[in-house]
């Protein structure tokens, strides 16, 4: 059975409540429930943390598991600032796809820079919560 880990970074625990015009009205828990139903043959694990070090710890813990097909990472604002998360992605063996709900390139210029993109397998942005599903599809292909 394929296994995918989704990791969400800071403030993404507030999906559905936080700036709904940008991030939508669905909670991540509801979305994960729907996506698990859509992919009954994929073991989809979900982790969220507001703390940079916790995200790095999780990348280390899971990143050498040969049974894990890939990690879908929305690092939130850490995308634009965290050399430490970039180093962790570079250090691990499991491929990571960077995901954003919003089209970061259509927003403030500070969001146009990602420290993570160069060390990720690919980047998916701007498709709302469907960005996560597209990343899962990319790992399953």
Provide the annotated active-site residues. Answer: 23, 100
Sequence-ordered list of residues with C-beta below 8 angstroms from that of 40, at least 6 positions apart, any chain: none
Q: Is 114 in the site for ligand DQA (CB under 6 A)?
A: no
Which residue's CB is nearer to ligand DQA, number 2 or number 32? Answer: 32
Site for ligand DQA in 12-71 (CB under 6 A): none
What phi-psi label fits residue 45: left (phi over 0), alpha (psi between -120 and 50 degrees) or beta?
A: beta
> The tokens of 48 are what?
């969220």
Distance of closest approach, residue 67 Cβ to ligand DQA, in angstroms: 27
CB 32 within 8 A of CB 44: yes
Q: Is 74 in the site for ligand DQA (CB under 6 A)?
A: yes
Distance CA 33, CA 44 (A): 10
Distance of closest approach, residue 50 Cβ to ligand DQA, in angstroms: 10
Q: Is 106 in the site for ligand DQA (CB under 6 A)?
A: no
- CA-based nearest residue to 3, from 32, 30, 39: 39
Stretch that binds ligand DQA, among 28-36, 47-55, 83-91, 95-103 (CB under 6 A): 95-103
- CA-based nearest residue to 79, from 60, 102, 46: 102
Q: Is 135 in the site for ligand DQA (CB under 6 A)?
A: no
- The contact set with ligand DQA (CB under 6 A) reads 11, 74, 76-77, 79, 100-102, 104, 111
């Amino acid at each position: 059975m394929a296994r995918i880990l989704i990791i969400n970074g800071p403030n993404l625990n507030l999906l559905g409540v936080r700036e709904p015009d940008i991030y939508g009205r669905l909670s991540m828990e509801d979305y994960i429930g729907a996506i698990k139903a859509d992919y009954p043959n994929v073991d989809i694990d979900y982790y969220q943390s507001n703390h940079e070090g916790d995200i790095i710890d999780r990348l280390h813990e899971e990143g050498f598991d040969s049974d894990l097909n890939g990690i879908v990472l929305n690092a939130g604002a850490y995308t634009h600032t965290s050399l430490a998360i970039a180093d962790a992605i570079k250090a691990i063996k499991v491929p990571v796809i960077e995901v954003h709900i919003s089209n970061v390139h259509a927003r403030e210029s500070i969001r146009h820079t990602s420290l993570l993109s160069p060390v990720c397998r690919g980047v998916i942005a701007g498709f709302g919560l469907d960005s996560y599903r597209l990343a899962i599809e990319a790992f399953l292909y």
